[in-house]
C-alpha cells in the first residue's frame, strides 16, 4: 500500500467513531522528506483547535503504524470553500452547488465541465452536471480526474461592499 493509502486508511480508522470525515490526502515528496496534507471536515464546521487535535492524534497513529518512513511534515486543515469531491456521497451531498470537473478524456467535446451538480446515478456510476444549454451531461466516475466545488466568495455580497477601502477614499 502506498503512503497516501496508508494515511487515508489510518485517518478513516481514527475518525470512525467521530463526526469528522477525511476529504482528501496529498503526499508531496521533497528532497527533505514528505509533506502530508490531510483535509478534514465535519457537518458543524471546523475550528483551528479541531485541526490541531486531529493533527496530534493522526501523527501519533501514523507513528504507531510506522506508516511514514523517514521525515515528514503533517498538515491538517479544512478543504476550503472549493473543496474536492472524492466520494459518491460528496456528489449527493453537494447536489445543487456549482462544480468544476476535469476529465481524463473529452466528454461532450470538453475536458473541463463547469455547471450545477445534479447528483450521481449510482446504477450507471455517472455524475450528472448541467451544461450551458440547460441539459445534463453524464460523466462516468472513472473518467473524473479532479472534481471540486466552484464557489465565488463574493456571492451574496452587495456590490458596494466589494469595493476596496482605497477606492472608497478616492471618492471623498
pLDDT at 153 over 70: yes
63 and 120 share one domain: no
Q: What is residue 135's three-state secondary structure?
A: coil
User: In which domain, by residue range, is 70 found?
Assistant: 3-77
Residue 170 has pLDDT above 90, yes or no: no
Closest CA relative to residue 147, chosen from 127, 123, 125:
127
Domain assignment of residue 160, yes or no: no
56 and 104 inside one domain: no
Tell me: pLDDT of 5 over 60. Answer: yes
Instruction: Count up the domains in the chain and report the number.
Output: 2
Are both 64 and 98 inside the same structural domain? no
User: Do both 17 and 66 map to the same domain?
Assistant: yes
Per-residue pLDDT tens for 93-143? 999 999 999 999 999 899 999 999 999 999 999 999 998 788 899 999 999
Torsion sign over Cα 153, 47, 38, 36: positive
Which of 109, 97, 105 is closest to 149 using CA atoms? 97
**Mean pLDDT of the 28-51 span:** 89
Q: Are residues 30 and 68 in the same domain?
A: yes
Contact 20, 2 (CB under 8 A): no
Same-domain pairing of 41 and 73: yes
Q: Are 68 and 59 in contact (CB under 8 A)?
A: no
| Shared-domain flag, residues 22 and 54 | yes
Q: Is 136 left (phi over 0), alpha (psi -120 to 50) or beta?
A: beta
Q: What is the pTM of this model?
A: 0.77
Phi, psi dihedral angles at 149 (to 5 degrees):
-65, 150
Give the per-residue pLDDT at 96. 94
C-alpha cell recorded at residue 23: 476529504
Q: At 115, which CATH number?
A: 2.30.30.100
- C-beta atoms surrounding 74 within 10 Å: 17
* Alpha carbon distance 38, 3 (integer Å): 12
pLDDT confidence of residue 161 = 63
Distance CA 136, CA 49 (A): 41
> Once rounded to an integer, what is the mean pLDDT over residues 14-38?
88
Residue range 40-99, pLDDT digits in tens? 999 898 999 999 999 999 999 988 888 777 788 999 999 999 999 999 999 999 999 999
Q: Where does the pLDDT of residue 30 fall: very low under 50, low under 70, confident under 90, or very high at 90 and above?
A: confident
Please indicate, yes or no, whether residues 94 and 59 belong to a single structural domain of this protein.
no
**15 with 22: CB under 8 angstroms?**
yes
CA angle 31-34-38, nearest 5°?
A: 155
Amino acid at each position: 500500500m502506498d503512503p497516501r493509502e496508508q494515511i487515508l486508511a489510518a485517518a478513516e480508522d481514527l475518525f470512525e467513531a467521530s463526526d469528522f470525515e477525511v476529504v482528501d490526502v496529498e503526499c508531496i515528496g521533497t528532497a527533505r522528506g514528505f509533506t502530508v496534507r490531510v483535509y478534514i471536515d465535519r457537518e458543524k464546521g471546523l475550528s483551528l483547535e479541531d485541526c490541531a487535535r486531529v493533527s496530534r492524534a493522526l501523527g501519533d497513529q501514523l507513528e504507531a503504524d510506522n506508516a511514514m518512513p523517514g521525515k515528514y511534515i503533517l498538515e491538517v486543515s479544512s478543504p476550503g470553500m472549493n473543496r474536492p469531491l472524492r466520494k459518491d456521497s460528496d456528489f449527493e451531498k453537494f447536489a445543487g452547488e456549482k462544480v468544476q470537473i476535469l476529465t481524463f478524456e473529452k466528454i461532450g467535446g470538453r475536458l473541463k465541465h463547469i455547471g450545477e451538480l445534479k447528483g450521481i446515478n449510482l446504477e450507471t456510476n455517472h455524475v450528472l452536471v448541467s451544461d450551458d444549454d440547460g441539459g445534463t451531461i453524464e460523466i462516468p466516475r472513472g473518467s473524473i480526474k479532479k472534481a471540486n466545488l466552484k464557489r465565488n466568495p463574493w456571492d451574496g455580497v452587495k456590490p458596494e461592499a466589494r469595493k476596496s477601502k482605497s477606492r472608497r477614499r478616492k471618492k471623498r
